[in-house]
Amino acid sequence: MSKLPDLTLSKGARDFIDDQRLSSLLNARADAVRVREVIAKSLSKTALSVEETAVLVNAASPDLVEEIFAAARQLKQAVYGNRIVLFAPLYIGNDCVNDCLYCAFRRSNRDEIRRSLDQDEIRRQVESLEQQGHKRLILVFGEHPKYDADFIHDCVETVYRVKVGHGEIRRVNINAAPQDIPGYKRIKEAKIGTFQVFQETYHHETYARMHPCSTRKGHYLWRLDSLSRAQEGGIDDVGIGALFGLYDWRFEVLALVSHALHLQTTYGVGPHTISFPRVRPASGVELPEQYKVDDHNFKRLVAVLRLAVPYTGLIMTAREPPDVRRECMGFGVSQIDAGTRLELGGYTEAGDAQCLEREQFELGDIRSLGEVMGDLITDGYIPSFCTACYRLGRTGEHFMEFAIPGFIKRFCTPNALLTAAEYLVDYATPEVRAAGEKLIAAEVQKLEDGSLKTELIDRLRRIRETEERDLYF
């Protein structure tokens, strides 16, 4: 068995996923009156219980499903407006000691081309990303002793040091193996944003089947407890997720909500983000399709998650095709990646075609950042690269204080407009810039007259007319 860094769990570590209870909730009949009561509670911007979430999950009749979609659209607009936050993933290394059956990086896959970027290679990748206009990255690491807390810390510092023209990465998030508490403390020193750990599947039997017990990832509680240790290590901004297609999607939705409520109850802070990727084709991977999630049910689960956890960002990655992403942005999704390459070194070395032997999985959306920006603007969304909350300490409990009453739009909409203006001036084609400037003008016009609007107009002018950048509220 591969050695774990430290089996010391969080102070209140416990397995809060009760398979039998969650499964039993899925057997209840969906009563229309009760469904509407739960929807009304969600629209009051109140998080739902697991039992209430199950009511929505069990509502499968076309009429009730349409009511859920409509409510999710209304809530998404009320809490997030028409902003979409953009980021890019940067894969640092695909060496891995795990043997997860669904992943091309698993150690037994001899077809996978293994590589770990050194600090100079990371710098070149970041330069390329900055030249495209990216401001937010998530660094992705396989689970291997070489990718320890010190290495992750050093990678983050390297990213922050890279500056190309007006380009800079203002916030680095992390998707890496669970750490012990000292490890989280070390990584926090690098001023990261969100630390993501996905449980993949919360169903115990499926988890054991997908993750051999002879591997690090085979320890269910160690992984389930990972973000509790992050909280105790000082990282109050965390992201959870499940990989849909390994088990019943309805169970996984209830488990994600259970996890969110556990963090909220224990630490006063729910997850900043929830991710819900679907299994995609990958090199050397063959999985039964028993639990494959079709597009209709995938959209249902996004809408239910939006209603269940109103103030948590929902991330939909480039695993999904553009049409699915576009539809889900209307009723739930608040963050997407763009211009994504999964190959190690892919932002400088890869051509237009995907190479599965160099990737973790196949992408569904291979549009460039510029293309995504143009499409978002055409669809009436404000593309946002905002990182102000992280840098002003509006994370953890402070974020909840701002977000739960709904005040976050006071900051997010102006900051989104400022970062969109930066992109338009520095990176956009003339056509995208013209459309973007028209959108910004319309959004500014919607704001109430007052000092905030006046200051926003002045900052937009300074971005357009001077070299000033990184202006935020």
Contact 309, 260 (CB under 8 A): yes
pTM: 0.94
For the chain, state the CA radius of gyration.
Answer: 21
Burial 34-63 (b: 16+ CB within 10 A, else e): bbbebbeebeeeebbebebbbbbbbbeeee
Whether residues 209 and 148 fall in one domain: yes
Determine, yes or no, domain membership for 13: no
Closest to 295 measured CA to CA, from 285, 287, 303? 303
How many domains is the chain partitioned into structurally? 3
Determine, yes or no, domain membership for 11: no
Determine, yes or no, domain membership for 3: no
**Range of 162's domain?**
82-401
Whether residues 395 and 282 fall in one domain: yes
Opening angle at CA 217, ends 212 and 221, nearest 5: 110
Opening angle at CA 314, ends 316 and 400, nearest 5: 155
Q: What pLDDT is stored for residue 407 in this prediction?
A: 59
Whether residues 227 and 186 fall in one domain: yes
* Domain final residue, candidates 370, 401, 432: 401
Q: What pLDDT is stored for residue 2 in this prediction?
A: 46
- State the distance between the two ends of the chain, measured CA to CA, in whole angstroms: 50
Determine, yes or no, domain membership for 16: no
Whether residues 319 and 423 fall in one domain: no
Residue 412: other Cβ atoms inside 10 A: 24
How far, in Å, are 25, 107, 145, 283, 320 from residue 104 at the CA level? 34, 9, 19, 5, 18
Q: What pLDDT is stored for residue 388 in this prediction?
A: 85
Whether residues 174 and 272 fall in one domain: yes
Whether residues 63 and 150 fall in one domain: no
Whether residues 56 and 114 fall in one domain: no
Whether residues 140 and 213 fall in one domain: yes
Residue 139: other Cβ atoms inside 10 A: 23
* Domain final residue, candidates 373, 401, 429: 401
pLDDT average per 10 residues of sequence, the chain (473 residues)? 65 96 94 97 96 98 98 94 96 96 92 93 98 98 96 98 97 97 98 97 98 93 97 96 98 98 94 96 85 98 97 95 97 96 88 67 90 98 91 68 59 94 98 98 94 96 97 92
Contact 216, 143 (CB under 8 A): yes
Determine, yes or no, domain membership for 64: yes
How far, in Å, are 4, 28, 61 from residue 334 at the CA level? 35, 31, 26
* Domain final residue, candidates 353, 383, 401: 401
- Greatest alpha-carbon pair distance for the chain in Å reads 63
In sequence order, the 6+-apart residues with CB closer than 8 A to the CB of 237 are: 193, 194, 195, 272, 390, 395, 396, 399
Please give the DSSP secondary-structure letter assigned to residue 284: T
Whether residues 280 and 229 fall in one domain: yes
CATH of the domain at 257: 3.20.20.70
Q: What pLDDT is stored for residue 284 in this prediction?
A: 80
Q: What pLDDT is stored for residue 400 in this prediction?
A: 59
Bridge partners for 240 per DSSP:
274
Bridge partners for 336 per DSSP:
86, 316
Whether residues 408 and 265 fall in one domain: no
Whether residues 427 and 353 fall in one domain: no
Determine, yes or no, domain membership for 145: yes
Determine, yes or no, domain membership for 4: no
Whether residues 227 and 300 fall in one domain: yes
Determine, yes or no, domain membership for 95: yes
Contact 280, 246 (CB under 8 A): no
Q: What pLDDT is stored for residue 438 in this prediction?
A: 98
